[in-house]
Amino acid sequence: MAHNPLAPEWLSSPADANTLTDGLWPSSARRTDDGAITIGGVSAGDLAAQFGTPLYVIDETDARTRAAQLRAAFDAEFARIGTTVRVYYAAKAFLSTEVARWMVEAGLNIDVCSGGELAVALAAGVAPGRIGFHGNNKSRAEINDATRVGVGTIIIDSPVEIERVAEAAGRHGMVQNVRLRVNSGVHAHTHEFLATSHEDQKFGVVFEDAPALVAAIRAQPSLNFLGLHCHIGSQIFGVDGFAESASRLLSLQADLLAGGPVPELNLGGGFGIAYTSVDDPSPVADLAAALADIVAAECARRGIPVPVIAIEPGRVIIGPAGVTLYEVGTTKPVRIGENTRLYVSVDGGMSDNARPALYGAEYSVRIADRVSEAAPALVRVAGKHCESGDIVVDADYLPGDVAPGDLLMVPATGAYCWSLASNYNYVGRPAVVAVADGEARVIVRGETIDDLLARDAGVPRSAHEVSTSSTGEVSTSSTGEVSTSSTGEAGSTGEAGSTGAAGSTNDMKETTR
C-alpha cells in the first residue's frame, strides 16, 4: 500500500504490518503459528482472558537480563580505566517490590525520589545502604525517615537541604553520605543537547555555587561528602551530551579536590530506548565504553584520580521489557481531504500511558491475537478518555481489517507508563503482570471501582459496603466483598461515567485550551 500522506515523514508503510520490528519488543516476544504474540511464552489471548485489558505485561527475564548486562558492561569498561561503578536503578521509571528485588538480584542499587518510593524499596527488603534518595523538595519527614533507616546516600538538591539533612543525621547519631546535584548547564534529549552556562530549571544547584556549598557540607560533622551528581535529561541517544557534562563536572571535581576528598561522581541516567522503527539508541555496551573513555581522558587531562562512577538508568532497563495489552472497542475512518486516517479506540489511554499527552511521545502498535493479509492502513490508536489529546499511538500502520474485539499490543511501555498512571475519568489503573517461562503472575493488582470508591469519604459505609456489579452498576451488598476484577468492569463503569457530567466538564475544558 502506498504511503499515506497523513503519516509523519519518518513513518513508512510496512511490507507486512504484522511484523514485530526488531529492537522494540521484549526479547521473548514472538508470533506463534496461530498468529498470536506471546511474551515470556504466554499468548496475548491468554493474558487478556486471565487478567483482562488494559494490562501491563513485563517480561521478567528480559528486565533481569537488561539490568545484569548493563551492570556487567559498565563494570568491565570502568575496570578498564581503573575504577568501579555503582549502578542505581531509577525507580521512578517503574517500581514495585518485585521489580526492586529483580534489580538488587542483578547487583543494582535503587534510586528513589519520594518517601513512597523509599517505602516500596524497603518493603522489598532492599538494604537501606543500597538506596540513593533524590528530590528537589524532600519534606523534613522524608529526610528524617531516610536518615533514620540509614539510606546509603542523599542527593542534596538545594542549599537549604544541607542543614536539614545534617540536623536529621545528627538527631539519629549517624554520619550521612551525601552527593550534591549540580546543573552542568547541559540539557539533552534524544539527538540534541544544549550546553549553556546557566540552566533555568528546578533541579540541582547553580554550577558556580557548588564550591561554597561543598565547603558547607564538609563543615557539617554529620555529613560525608561523596561527590557531585548531575542528570542531563532523558531518552538520550548519543554520548555527546554526557561527554560535555562529564567534562564540566570533572573540572569542578578538580577544584573541589583542593579542599578534601571527592571519591565519587554520579553521571545520572537518561539512556534512550527505541519506541518506533526509526529510533536508533546507542547500545548500552557502546555507551559504557564511550563514557569510560571520556572520564579517563578528562581525569588524565586534569591530572586527577579517576573517581568511582555512579549512574542511574531507569528506562533503558525496564522500558523495553514492558508492553501494554488493549482491546479495540471501536474503529472509525476519518477522511481528511483525499486521505483517510483510521481511528482505533482502545479500552485504556492517557490514564495508563500519559507520555504521548505529556511529551508528544511516539509509540508503535501491532494486532496481538492474529495476523492478517489485509493491506496496511494508517491508524491512530486513541484512548477512551474525555480528551482529544488522549492518544496512545499517534501514527502506525496496522492491517486495514483491524476491528472491535482485536487485541492490540504496544511495545516499550515498561518505563514511565505505570508510574505516571492516573485515575482520570475514574478509570482504575491496570494490573501489572510478570511473564516468564510460560507463566504469568500479577505483581501489582489492578484497581477496581471499589478501590476508587473506597477513598471517597462521602460514600455511605455504615451498614453496607459499596461494590459494583459486572455491568458497572453501583450497588450495596451486605457481604462486604471486594471485587477483584481489575479491568473490564472498571472500564465499563468509567465509560458510563464519562458520558455524564464529567464528559461535559471536559468538553468545556478542551475549548478553553
Ligand X SMILES: Cc1ncc(COP(=O)(O)O)c(C=O)c1O
Catalytic residues: 386
Smallest gap from residue 271 Cβ to ligand X (A):
6
Decide whether 316 or 323 has the Cβ nearer to ligand X.
316
Alpha-carbon gap, residue 363 to 15, rounded angstroms = 19
Q: Does the annotation list 302 as a binding residue?
A: no
Smallest gap from residue 399 Cβ to ligand X (A):
33
Q: Does the annotation list 315 as a binding residue?
A: yes
Decide whether 269 or 348 has the Cβ nearer to ligand X.
269
The residue with cell 472497542 is 329
Smallest gap from residue 92 Cβ to ligand X (A):
6
Contacts of 35 (CB under 8 A, 6+ apart): 18, 369, 370, 371
Smallest gap from residue 321 Cβ to ligand X (A):
13
Decide whether 315 or 355 has the Cβ nearer to ligand X.
315
Q: Does the annotation list 447 as a binding residue?
A: no
Bridge partner list, 310: 86, 266
Peptide bond just before 54 cis, omega within 30 deg: yes
Smallest gap from residue 37 Cβ to ligand X (A):
25
Beta strand 55-59 with 432-436 is: parallel
Q: Does the annotation list 455 as a binding residue?
A: no
Neighbours of 507 (CB within 10 A): 12
Alpha-carbon gap, residue 10 to 24, rounded angstroms = 16
Contacts of 117 (CB under 8 A, 6+ apart): 91, 92, 95
Length of the chain: 513
Decide whether 241 or 270 has the Cβ nearer to ligand X.
270
Q: Interface with ligand X by CB under 6 A: which residues?
A: 90, 92-93, 134, 231, 234, 268-271, 312-316, 415
DSSP code per residue over 364-424? --EESS----SPEEEEEEE-SSS-TT-EEEEEEEEETT--TT-EEEEES-SSSSSTT---G
Which of 195, 244, 259, 204 lies closest to 228, judged by CA? 204
Cα radius of gyration rounded to whole Å, the chain: 25
Decide whether 225 or 271 has the Cβ nearer to ligand X.
271
Query: Which residues line the annotated binding site for pyridoxal 5'-phosphate?
Result: 270, 312-315, 416
Query: Which residues line the annotated binding site for substrate?
Result: 315, 355, 359, 387, 416
Query: Which residues line the annotated binding site?
Result: 270, 312-315, 355, 359, 387, 416
